[in-house]
């Protein structure tokens, strides 16, 4: 890694976050027109990264970064090759359009500034994700995209559906993130590399490692949740609760592609194994079919698109897993094409929703004359989605068929899956693009007209891009496709496919697809009814499962709380003291550190014996005091006995203090007790008494043993000697105790007097402030009654 690379890239990576900081203020100032300025940010980043195109297309990679925590080999570093560059360009390019589009879509929304802020933050995280070289950075950005998408999906936070969708997305993708973290750590442990760039050069180190399967499963756990693979697909359609710009951006072009990105990124090191070739196509293919079937069922434009997104992601995963050169090229082409057409179609759906007030395809019709520009963009994107020339989607589809078509069972099966999936996507594409615009004008729609320029600019530009990239396919391949495919494949690859029809198997398969598609389009209503019936029969899906999971978690935590916190002080106390006894006694028992039996002191002075006896008597009479006066007095007795003990053992200061404190304690206790109509006697049942006695005796034994052990150890007098020696010379004081208090350990004492003062304040406020509940509790207190009179 170059130690100090040009920091422009670093600044560029930070830029979206900085822009997010200023977005709300700017929006306050300029209202929705702030979009024009904010869009400059992604545009500038796009410009910056497009500057890398010549270098990357020459087959080189660019890395850079800073050391972050060198001791742990954690760096803030980036890695630019064909794959990440394409992603970066898509993120920022579409991001620019999305920012503009949001300005139009959420015009006049009270929280528009916040929205801009979120979307820019998301853009920054996504950009960071594809750019990161070090695992840690990758993971952080990965989770950041989950968090920012949570914020964006739940943007409309007043609606429950929105909150649920947001939480669901967070739980699913965040949970996947944990898998990913584990996977990355495992990779780190196995290979010793914490950076993508180094890892990619490690060859088959991972594939040969005994931990391969564990790594494989963990990485897939991350990728599949993020990229909404069946059966974790359910969060993506639900996430359509988000405002349309979010759906267009996160759920077509960027975030959901993060999982695919991860798979493509790791393809050179994790791919080309049995597991990879079987599991990925299996899940991808299932997702493809399930997604399209579910999409047919929907009548909501956005939901239809969402389910086709799920299936497109399935297709991408399938192709990545299939892993032949052509398949990878197909995946790469399809990924780019999908971003272009799906982003455009989502925006179109948003425009229709915005202008006509509904997204239900059965309620829409005849909008062509009212919204010609939108219609043109929609049609172009649908053609691309359907895989018809002259759009980029066509190239992608041809390449996919070329890649999958093999004379083998597996290849044949996947080809059929792809054909069915594509045919159904063909249907959806045209349903979205044609149904709302053609046919008779529905009466309820009223006066619908074309959206403002901020709205239609995005889809139009994306549709144009679909067209241009296809027409100038050699340049597209040279700059984008080939470098990206090479990065995924791990070795140089070049793509050649162009719009010129080439007779062969792929073309034939395309024709079949189109034929099925047209047939299905005509019968779409019947298909939909069939699907609804089928789903009704199944009746249970992962979406409901999620609800049950969340409810179960809440119930479980509730039960656990009830068990460990029953709200009984007695129970807490018992647990605490049992633990105290165990924590002292257990180590002694384990390490055989029992103290030696002490010698009974030969000469115990008479004073000592008497005082100790007094203390003991005081203590026991506290226990058995029948009325409060006895209790108070006996508490005083034991206190004074302690004071005498201090005096005996050479601590006059302590003794005085203890005397005073005990006096005051007795006084205030008496004062308080006269007003508490309490009897200090014991009401407990005998059984409880015995248990409590055992617990307290155990604790006491523990402390006695601890103390014996301590006194039997050699005594370290360093500190005491220090204080004794320097008390006079440094602190000019002969009373060492006091010198320690006010000089050597002054700060401690200072804290302590602060505590005393706070306690005083707390007591004062407790006594003075009284919340008077409206019930009769207060009537218990004689003092209260006096006051009320």
Partner 1 sequence: MTLLVGIFFAVAIYLFLSQHIIRMVLGAAVLGNAVNLLIFTSGRLTLEIPPILTGYETTTGMLTANPLPQALILTAIVISFSFFAFLLVLSYRAYQELGTDDTDEMRFAEPENQDLPPLGY
Partner 2 sequence: MRTLIFRTVAPYLASLMILFSIFVLLRGHNEPGGGFIGGLIAASAFAIYGIACGVSPVRRALHFHPMAISGTGLLASTAAGMLSIFFKVPFMTGLWLDIPLFGDSIAVSTVMLFDIGVYLVVVGSITSIALALEERPNS
Q: Which is nearer to partner 1, 208 or 682 (CB)?
A: 682
Min dist. Cβ of residue 755 to partner 2 (A): 10
Q: How many residues bind partner 2 (CB under 8 A)?
A: 44
Cβ–Cβ under 8 Å, residues 304 and 298? yes
Rounded to 10°, the helix 257-270/482-489 angle is: 60
CA 193 to chain centre: 25
- 127 contacts: CB under 8 Å, gap ≥ 6: 13, 16, 45, 88, 91, 92
Residue 28, interface with partner 1 (CB under 8 A)?
Answer: no
What is the distance between the alpha carbons of residues 322 and 282, in angstroms, rounded to a whole number?
A: 10
- 87 contacts: CB under 8 Å, gap ≥ 6: 130, 257, 261
Considering only 49-57, 282-290, 451-459, 721-729, which stretch makes contact with partner 1 by CB under 8 A?
Answer: 721-729
Of residues 548, 2, 488, 545, the one with CA closest to residue 267: 488
What is the distance between the alpha carbons of residues 683 and 628, in angstroms, rounded to a whole number?
A: 15
CA 169 to chain centre: 9
CB atoms near residue 468 (< 10 Å): 14
Residue 675, interface with partner 1 (CB under 8 A)?
Answer: yes
Considering only 333-341, 636-644, 682-690, 734-742, which stretch makes contact with partner 2 by CB under 8 A?
Answer: 734-742
Min dist. Cβ of residue 677 to partner 2 (A): 14
What is the distance between the alpha carbons of residues 687 and 576, in angstroms, rounded to a whole number?
A: 20
Q: Judged by CB under 8 A, which of 537, 768, 772, 788 binds partner 2?
A: 768
CA atoms within a 13 Å half-sphere pointing along the CA-CB vector of 201: 8
Q: How many residues bind partner 1 (CB under 8 A)?
A: 109
Min dist. Cβ of residue 672 to partner 2 (A): 6
Q: Which is nearer to partner 2, 92 or 655 (CB)?
A: 655
What is the distance between the alpha carbons of residues 321 and 328, in angstroms, rounded to a whole number?
A: 9
Considering only 290-298, 358-366, 516-524, 746-754, which stretch makes contact with partner 1 by CB under 8 A?
Answer: 746-754
Min dist. Cβ of residue 771 to partner 2 (A): 17
Residue 738, interface with partner 2 (CB under 8 A)?
Answer: yes
Q: Among partner 2, partner 1, none, what binds residue 674 when CB lies within 5 to 8 Å by partner kind?
A: partner 2
Site string for partner 1, 523-562 (x = CB under 8 A): ---------------------------xx--xx--x---x
Site string for partner 2, 506-535 (x = CB under 8 A): ------------------------------
Residue 762, token pair as written in the block: 């707390």
Q: Among partner 2, partner 1, none, what binds residue 638 when CB lies within 5 to 8 Å by partner kind?
A: partner 1
Residue 779, interface with partner 2 (CB under 8 A)?
Answer: no
What is the distance between the alpha carbons of residues 315 and 508, in angstroms, rounded to a whole number?
A: 20
Of residues 20, 40, 90, the one with CA closest to residue 484: 90
Considering only 111-119, 338-346, 522-530, 764-772, which stretch makes contact with partner 1 by CB under 8 A?
Answer: 764-772
| Radius of gyration, alpha carbons of the chain | 37
What is the distance between the alpha carbons of residues 183 and 185, in angstroms, rounded to a whole number?
A: 5
Q: Which is nearer to partner 2, 475 or 758 (CB)?
A: 758
Min dist. Cβ of residue 307 to partner 1 (A): 22
Min dist. Cβ of residue 721 to partner 1 (A): 7
For the segment 643-682, give every residue that binds partner 2 (CB under 8 A).
652-653, 656-657, 660-661, 663-664, 667-668, 671-672, 674-675
DSSP state of 256: T
Residue 31, interface with partner 1 (CB under 8 A)?
Answer: no
Residue 311, token pair as written in the block: 């299936």
Of residues 357, 352, 412, the one with CA closest to residue 377: 352
Q: Judged by CB under 8 A, which of 40, 275, 582, 742 binds partner 2?
A: 742
Considering only 219-227, 292-300, 425-433, 712-720, which stretch makes contact with partner 1 by CB under 8 A?
Answer: 712-720
Min dist. Cβ of residue 640 to partner 2 (A): 14
Cβ–Cβ under 8 Å, residues 605 and 572? no
Residue 740, token pair as written in the block: 């320690």
CB atoms near residue 410 (< 10 Å): 13
Considering only 30-38, 114-122, 689-697, 756-764, which stretch makes contact with partner 2 by CB under 8 A?
Answer: 756-764
What is the distance between the alpha carbons of residues 137 and 145, in angstroms, rounded to a whole number?
A: 12
* Backbone φ, ψ for residue 517 (5° rounding): -60, -45
Respond yes or no on whether the N-terminal peptide bond of residue 390 is cis (omega within 30° of 0). yes
Min dist. Cβ of residue 745 to partner 2 (A): 9
For the segment 703-732, give every residue that binds partner 2 (CB under 8 A).
730-732
Considering only 52-60, 468-476, 497-505, 741-749, which stretch makes contact with partner 2 by CB under 8 A?
Answer: 741-749
Of residues 623, 596, 626, 607, the one with CA closest to residue 711: 596
Q: Judged by CB under 8 A, which of 764, 770, 779, 785 binds partner 2?
A: 764
Cβ–Cβ under 8 Å, residues 705 and 593? no
Residue 678, interface with partner 1 (CB under 8 A)?
Answer: yes
Min dist. Cβ of residue 179 to partner 2 (A): 50
Min dist. Cβ of residue 607 to partner 2 (A): 19
Cβ–Cβ under 8 Å, residues 245 and 454? no
Min dist. Cβ of residue 619 to partner 2 (A): 23
Cβ–Cβ under 8 Å, residues 455 and 347? yes
Q: Among partner 1, partner 2, none, what binds residue 560 when CB lies within 5 to 8 Å by partner kind?
A: none
Q: Among partner 2, partner 1, none, what binds residue 747 when CB lies within 5 to 8 Å by partner kind?
A: partner 2
For the segment 79-98, give every residue that binds partner 2 (CB under 8 A).
none
Q: Judged by CB under 8 A, which of 589, 696, 785, 787 binds partner 1?
A: 696
By CB under 8 A, name the binding residues for partner 2.
652-653, 656-657, 660-661, 663-664, 667-668, 671-672, 674-675, 730-735, 737-739, 741-743, 746-747, 749-750, 753-754, 756-757, 759-761, 763-764, 767-768, 783, 786-787
């Amino acid at each position: 890694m170059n130690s100090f690379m040009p920091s422009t890239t670093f600044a560029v990576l930070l830029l979206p976050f900085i822009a997010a900081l200023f977005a709300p203020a700017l929006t306050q100032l300029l209202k929705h027109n702030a979009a024009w300025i904010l869009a400059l940010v992604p545009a500038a980043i796009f410009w910056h990264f497009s500057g890398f195109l010549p270098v990357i297309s020459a087959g080189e990679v660019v890395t850079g970064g800073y050391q972050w925590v060198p001791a742990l080999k954690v760096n803030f570093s980036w890695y630019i090759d064909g794959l990440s560059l394409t992603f970066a360009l898509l993120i920022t390019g579409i991001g620019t359009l999305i920012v503009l589009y949001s300005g139009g879509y959420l015009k006049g929304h009270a929280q528009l500034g916040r929205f801009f802020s979120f979307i820019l933050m998301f853009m920054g995280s996504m950009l960071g994700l594809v750019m990161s070289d070090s695992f840690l950075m990758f993971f952080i950005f990965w989770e950041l995209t989950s968090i920012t998408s949570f914020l964006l999906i739940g943007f409309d936070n007043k609606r429950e559906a929105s909150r649920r969708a947001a939480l669901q997305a967070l739980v699913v993708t965040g949970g996947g993130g944990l898998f990913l973290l584990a996977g990355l750590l495992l990779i780190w442990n196995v290979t010793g590399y914490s950076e993508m760039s180094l890892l990619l050069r490690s060859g088959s180190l991972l594939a040969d490692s005994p931990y391969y399967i564990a790594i494989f499963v963990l990485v897939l756990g991350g990728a599949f949740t993020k990229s909404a693979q069946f059966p974790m697909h359910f969060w993506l359609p639900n996430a359509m609760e988000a405002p349309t710009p979010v759906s267009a951006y996160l759920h077509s072009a960027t975030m959901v592609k993060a999982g695919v990105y991860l798979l493509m990124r790791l393809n050179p090191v994790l791919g080309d194994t049995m597991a990879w070739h079987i599991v990925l196509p299996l899940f991808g293919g299932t997702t493809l079919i399930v997604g399209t079937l579910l999409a047919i069922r929907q009548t909501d434009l956005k939901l239809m698109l969402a389910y086709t997104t799920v299936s497109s992601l399935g297709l991408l995963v399938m192709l990545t897993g299939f892993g032949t050169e052509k398949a990878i090229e197909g995946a790469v082409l399809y990924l780019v094409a999908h971003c272009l057409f799906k982003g455009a179609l989502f925006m179109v759906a948003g425009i229709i929703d915005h202008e006509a007030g509904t997204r239900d395809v059965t309620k829409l019709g005849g909008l062509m004359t009212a919204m010609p520009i939108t219609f043109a963009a929609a049609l172009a994107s649908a053609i691309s989605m359907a895989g018809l020339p002259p759009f980029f989607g066509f190239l992608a589809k041809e390449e996919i068929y070329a890649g999958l078509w093999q004379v083998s069972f597996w290849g044949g099966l996947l080809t059929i899956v792809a054909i069915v999936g594509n045919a159904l996507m063909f249907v959806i594409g045209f349903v979205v693009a044609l149904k709302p615009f053609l046919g008779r004008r529905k009466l309820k729609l009223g006066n619908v007209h074309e959206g403002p320029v901020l709205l239609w600019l995005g889809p139009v530009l994306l549709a144009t891009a679909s067209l241009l990239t296809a027409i100038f396919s050699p340049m597209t391949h040279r700059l984008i496709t080939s470098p990206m495919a090479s990065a995924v494949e791990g070795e140089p690859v070049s793509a050649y496919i162009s719009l010129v029809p080439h007779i062969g198997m792929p073309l034939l398969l395309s024709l079949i697809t189109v034929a099925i598609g047209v047939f299905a389009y005509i019968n779409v209503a019947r298909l939909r009814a069939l699907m609804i019936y089928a789903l009704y029969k199944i009746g249970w899906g992962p979406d409901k499962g999620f609800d049950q999971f969340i409810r179960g978690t809440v119930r479980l935590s509730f039960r656990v709380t009830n068990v460990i916190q029953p709200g009984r002080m007695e129970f807490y106390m018992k647990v605490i003291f049992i633990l105290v006894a165990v924590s002292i006694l257990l180590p002694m028992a384990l390490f055989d550190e029992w103290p030696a039996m002490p010698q009974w002191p030969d000469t115990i002075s008479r004073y000592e014996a008497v005082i100790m006896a007094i203390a003991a008597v005081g203590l026991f009479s506290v226990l058995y005091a029948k009325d409060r006066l006895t209790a108070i007095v006996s508490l005083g007795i034991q206190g004074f006995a302690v004071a005498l003990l201090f005096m005996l053992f050479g601590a006059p200061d302590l003794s005085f203090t203890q005397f005073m404190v005990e006096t005051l304690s007795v006084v205030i206790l008496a004062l308080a007790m006269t007003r508490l109509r309490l009897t200090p006697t014991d009401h407990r049942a005998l059984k409880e008494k015995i248990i409590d006695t055992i617990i307290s005796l155990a604790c006491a034994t523990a402390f006695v043993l601890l103390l014996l052990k301590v006194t039997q150890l050699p005594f370290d007098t360093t500190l005491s000697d220090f204080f004794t020696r320097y008390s006079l010379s440094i602190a000019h004081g002969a009373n060492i105790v006091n010198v320690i208090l006010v000089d050597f350990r002054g700060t401690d004492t200072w804290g302590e007097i602060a505590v005393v003062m706070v306690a005083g304040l707390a007591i004062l406020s407790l006594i003075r402030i009284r919340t008077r509940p409206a019930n009769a509790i207060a009537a218990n207190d004689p003092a209260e009654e006096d006051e009320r009179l």
